[in-house]
Structures are given as structure tokens and as C-alpha cells.
A and B are shown apart, each in its own frame.
Chain A
Amino acid sequence: MDKPFNNKAWFLVLPVFILVAISAIIPLMTVVNYSVQDTFGNNQFFWAGTEWFVEVLHSQRFWDAFLKNIAFSATILVIEIPLGIVIALSMPKRGIWVPFCLVLMSLPLLIPWNVVGTIWQVFGRADIGLLGYFLDWLGISYNYATNAVDAWITIIIMDVWHWTSLVVLLSYAGLVSIPEAYYQAARIDGASKWKVFRYIQLPKMNRVLLIAVLLRFMDSFMVYTEPFVLTGGGPGNSTTFLSIDLVKMAIGQFDLGPAAAMSLVYFLVVLLVSWVFFTVMTNLDADAPEKGVQD
């Protein structure tokens, strides 16, 4: 890196700093404030110390939601990453079908998240939805509103539908950057398809795949809108993820203390993952001096 050191650059960054500080630090401080105080109404607050944190970390409700989040993120990663790679590998590299594929595949990424929920809510209903009707016709009993397993399957398929294209697009971007000469060399050596994948394509993709894994993990970890619209956290509490629980607690029941403590724990987890992401990114940037030149 041959960037000159110049503190005047701060003037250029200042507007961003002020704007984000107002919209991030003040709210965060509010949360910290609530997390250490108790209230009996009337805007009277009392110091509560770490009481709420202890309560949250010992509550079954928090750990249930937390485990659901982990299970959800793990499941969608296991499905979306390999599926995305397979689809990216079989996409045409050039020709008129490339823009066609790219545009159609990006479509779900650009649909408002609650509309994604609505689409699947309708699609899965046995009375008016194509999927529900079809399953019903096959004799499979399926109802995401009353059966927890069905609700989970629907949410996972919905997420696969919504986000696999992100993995496809990223892998594809990695694949098309591989020079044709690599493949020619492999052909001369008589390398099998698997060997080409293992030693040429995968190493070239691992940068983008890391990004894909981290982004998908983080976004799925804070999933809110789609399951909220589809099931509202039900049936029972079976799809109540951390975000849904948190919003219910903070805005529905106005349990500010526990909600704030939970927010902070939640935020710390995200912070940790962001740090991993950032470290990976900066290392990758350092490894790839030609960054930004290709596309």
C-alpha cells in the first residue's frame, strides 16, 4: 500500500462520521442506558447494574431464540453455498444467455423483504397457493401456520429462494475472472473435471466464497421480516428468532431493560462476526493488489 499519510483526509470523512455517529452512537447509548436501569413507570429510572444481563443470559427464552438463529444460519449456509457453486459452475460463461441468467437470478434479491414473506405466504397456502395446492393434491399434509416443522421448512426454502442467487452471483464473478489459459493447461494435462474444480476453480473462488459465507451468516443471523410476515414467529414460538423476540419485547411489551440487555448481547455477537469479516477483507485486499481492476 503506497497511500500517503494525510490527516486532512479527515475533513472528507467528517460528514459521514457525524451522520453515522448521530444515527448509531446516540441510539446505542440509549440502549446501554436502559440495559443498566430499571423503571416502575413515570419515567423514573433506577440503577440496576448487571441485573438485566444476568437475567437475559439465564433466560431460556433468549437461548431458545439464539439456538434457533444458529440452527437457521447453519442450515441455510449448508444448502445455499454448495447449491450456489453448482449453479454458478453450470452457467454459460459468455453469450446472449449471460445477461438473461444474471437478470432473472437477481430478481429475488431486489424484492422487498416483506413481499418475499407475502409471496411465500400465498404460495404455500393449501387453498389458494400453487405449492400448497400441489402438495395437498399429492396427499402430503402441509400447513406452515400450524405445523412447526412445515413452518421451518418453508422459512428455509424461502431463504434459499431469496438469497442463493447472491452466492451464485459472487461465485460466478469469481469464475469468469479465471483466464482461459488455466483451462487449456488443465486440458493438456488431461485433468479430470473434479481436479479442474478442486485445483483451479475453487482456489479462484475462495475469496468470493468467504465473502458470501460471512454476508449470508450475518444477514441470516438478523433475519426478521420474512419469517415475521410468513408466520409471525409461530406456530407457538417455533420460529421466534432473536430479532422477532427482541422487537416483541421492546416495542410490544415495552420491557426496556431486558430488551436493551438482549440487544447488547446480540450486537456483541454481530460485532465479533463483523470483526472476522473485516480481518478477512483487509487480508484479502492486501493479498490482491489488483483489487478493483477486474470486472
Chain B
Amino acid sequence: MSNTSLMSGSNTPTKLNFKWVTPTLYIVFLLLPIYWLVNMSFKTNQEILSTFTLFPDNPTLHNYAVILTDPSWYNGYINSMIYVALNTVITLSVALPAAYAFSRYRFLGDKHLFFWLLTNRMAPPAVFALPFFQLYSSFGLIDTHIAVALAHCLFSVPLAVWILEGFMSGIPKEIDETAYIDGYSFPKFFVKIFMPLASSGIGVTAFFCFMFSWVELLLARTLTVTDAKPITATMTRTVSASGLDWGVLAAAGVLTIIPGALVIYFVRNYIAKGFALGRV
């Protein structure tokens, strides 16, 4: 990180530039707790509890092995993956046409509808936890992946519509008109011409659906018992039980960070726009 000084220094060679200090300190602050989690995940429980070491004395993969071989752990990941994927697919397939409609047309009640969607993004999950539980119980959907996926649609659909609308408004309308003149039908135009143009927006939206479904705990935990229990819920239950297997807990935590960390590079330029609901 010390190279930062060389870089900013080269911009203003005449005087020393200390601008890099603030971001560097901030990044160190962000990474310290993560470093500690990773560090713990490579230690044995005995080392965690008995000694204080900045690096594992005898790095071990035991904790990861526990997770990857114990079905009650790795099923948590599989369950999370399944409902997150379902959620992303459902969300995108309904949000794409809707976002197009909002970005291109005015229609009866459009503003109200757009606002109403937003209120769902802003609604506290705590308000919905109990009614969701009862709604999905009455359909016998408790402890299924589709229940969690649908529940998460409450947040992800509004988010997706808003982000996609932001991206689609940036695509010139002339393209639509030209395509219609060329004799394209709406579905053909939408799939063949419009979606490729909006692909960066679609990618970012998918990323955000994925992310918000992946990080959510309250609804996922309320709606599942065992068969569809997500990894995040598995983790909290381990904490509350007296097991306190710190090493395994740390390893499980590290594994939940990995999916986000892997794709973040591709969306780095759009991440602000995504968090701001497509309005930056």
C-alpha cells in the first residue's frame, strides 16, 4: 500500500502529497476485522482460546474440512444458493418488462405504482416476518426454497425495477423507434436489441438481487426450519447453542464473503449506482 504515495506523488511532483493516507487508513480499518476472521478460520479451537497469535502457528484447513464434509453445514450453502438463484431469475424476468414500461411510457397510475414499489424496498423485514410465516404456512410452503425466494422478491423486485429503470433511461429512445420502423415486433426487439444494450444494467441488477438475497437473514430464518435453512441461519444457531466452535464459525463466515468478493471486481464501477437504486 505504500506505493500509493508514489502514484499520487507523481501527479504533483513539486510537493509531497499525503492524500493517500486517509483512504489507506480507512482500508486498513475495513480489513482488520476481516483479517481477524480469516486468521481465526485457519486456527484450531485450542489455539484460538489459549494463545493470542497474529498468524496461525500451525495453519490448518480442519475448519473448512468440517464445513465441506458435514451436510448440516454445506447444505446451508446449497440452500442459500438455490433460493438466491431462484430469486434472481424470478426478479429479473418480471422486472425487465416493467422497468422498460416505466422508462419509456407514461400510464395511468405510473407514479403511484413506482412509489409503492419503493415503499416495499424500504419496508422493515421485521414487519413482514410474521405475516409471511402465516401466508406461506397456509400454502404449505414453509421450509421450501421457493418461499424464501418469493419473500425476498418483496425487496429485490422494487430494487431491480428502480435500478433497471435508471439504466434504461440512459438508452436513447431513437433505437426503439428505428427497430419498430424496421419491422421488429416488441418481444423480438426487446430480446434481440434492447436487452444486449442494457446488458450492463441487467448484470448489475442481477448482482444486487443476488447480494440482497444473500445477505438477508431475518426472513430466510423465519421461513425455514431444516430443509431449506440458509447458511446465515445455520451460523446464528451455532452461536446460540453452547457449541461455540469458533474456528468453524470463522471458516463459515469467510465462505459467505467469497461469492461477493469474487464478482465485485466486475461491478465496481456500477456499485454506487446499484446501491442508489439506479439514480447516480
Partner of A291, one of B48, B122, B170: B170
Asked whether A274 lies within 8 Å of B272 as measured between CB atoms, the reply is no
Interface pair A118/B170, CB less than 8 Å apart = no
Q: Tell whether, in the assembled complex, residue A95 and residue B27 are in contact, meaning their CB atoms are under 8 Å apart.
A: no
Residue among B26, B29, B135, B239 making CB contact with A27, cutoff 8 Å? B135
Q: Chain A's interface: helix, strand, loop or mixed, by majority?
A: helix
Q: Is the CB of B32 within 8 A of A130?
A: yes
The interface-forming segment of A52-60, A71-79, A97-105, A183-191 is: A97-105
Contact A20 B158 (CB under 8 A): yes
Cβ-neighbour of A267 out of B31, B52, B124 (below 8 A): B124
Residues of chain A lying within 8 A (CB to CB) of residue B264: 103, 106-107, 110
A196 contacts the other chain (Cβ, under 8 Å)? no
Contact A92 to B7, CB < 8 A, known contacts A3-B104, A12-B98, A256-B130? yes
Contact with B along A244-271 (1 / 0, CB 8 A): 1011001100001001000100110011
Q: Is the CB of B279 within 8 A of A96?
A: no
Number of interface residues of A (CB under 8 A): 107
The answer to whether A122 and B119 have CB atoms under 8 Å apart is: no
In the complex the two chains form, is B272's CB within 8 Å of A173's CB? yes
Are A97 and B4 closer than 8 Å at their CB atoms?
Answer: yes
Contact with A along B77-117 (1 / 0, CB 8 A): 00000000000001001110110111011111011011111
* Interface contact B253-A13, CB-CB below 8 Å: no
Q: Is B215 interfacial (CB 8 A cutoff)?
A: yes
A31 touches B131 (CB 8 A): yes
- Chain A: which residue is nearest B200 at the CB level? A295
B227 within 8 A of A: no
Chain B facing A: main interface SS: helix
Decide if A293 is an interface residue (CB 8 Å cutoff): yes
Closest CB of chain B to A123's CB: distance in Å?
5
Question: Do B36 and A130 have beta carbons less than 8 Å apart?
Answer: yes
CB pair B235 A9 closer than 8 Å: no
Cβ contact of B123, chosen from A16, A24, A247, cutoff 8 A = A24
* Contact-residue size bin, chain B (C-beta under 8 Å from the other chain): 35 or more
Within 8 Å of chain A (Cβ to Cβ): is B150? yes
Measured CA separation A12–B215 after assembly (Å): 29
Among candidates B100, B135, B157, B249, residue contacting A12 with C-beta atoms closer than 8 Å: B100
CB contacts (< 8 Å) of A192 on chain B: these are none
B residues 105-148 touching A (CB-CB < 8 Å): 105-108, 110-111, 113-120, 122-135
> Which residue of the partner chain, among B8, B100, B167, contacts A92 with CB atoms under 8 Å?
B8
Return chain B residues, CB-CB under 8 Å to A101.
23, 27
Q: In the bound complex, do residue B122 and residue A9 qualify as a contact, i.e. CB atoms below 8 Å apart?
A: no
When distances are taken between beta carbons in the complex, the residues of chain B under 8 Å from A133 are 52
Give bound CA distance, A224 to B94, whole Å: 29
Interface string of A124-149 (1 = CB under 8 A from B): 00011111010000000000000000
Further 9 A-B residue pairs, CB within 8 A, beyond A16-B157, A112-B216, A243-B124: A9-B105, A13-B97, A31-B127, A86-B22, A112-B232, A113-B217, A119-B253, A251-B129, A278-B118
Listed by A's residue number, 7 A-B pairs whose Cβ atoms lie within 8 Å are A22-B150, A90-B19, A92-B4, A244-B126, A247-B126, A259-B130, A293-B170
CB-CB nearest 5 A-B residue pairs: A110-B260, A292-B170, A27-B131, A222-B124, A12-B101
Question: Which residues of A are at the interface with B, using a C-beta cutoff of 8 A?
Answer: 1, 3-10, 12-13, 15-17, 19-20, 22-24, 26-28, 30-31, 86-87, 90-92, 95-97, 99, 101-115, 118-123, 127-131, 133, 161, 164-166, 168-170, 172-174, 208, 211-212, 215, 218, 221-222, 224-225, 229, 242-244, 246-247, 250-251, 256, 259, 263, 266-267, 270-271, 273-275, 277-278, 281-282, 284-285, 291-293, 295
B interface with A by C-beta (< 8 Å): 4, 7-8, 19-23, 26-27, 29-34, 36-37, 40, 48-49, 52, 90, 93-95, 97-98, 100-102, 104-108, 110-111, 113-120, 122-135, 150-151, 153-154, 157-158, 161, 166-170, 211, 214-218, 222, 232, 235-236, 239, 246, 249-250, 253, 256-257, 260-261, 264-265, 268-273, 275-280
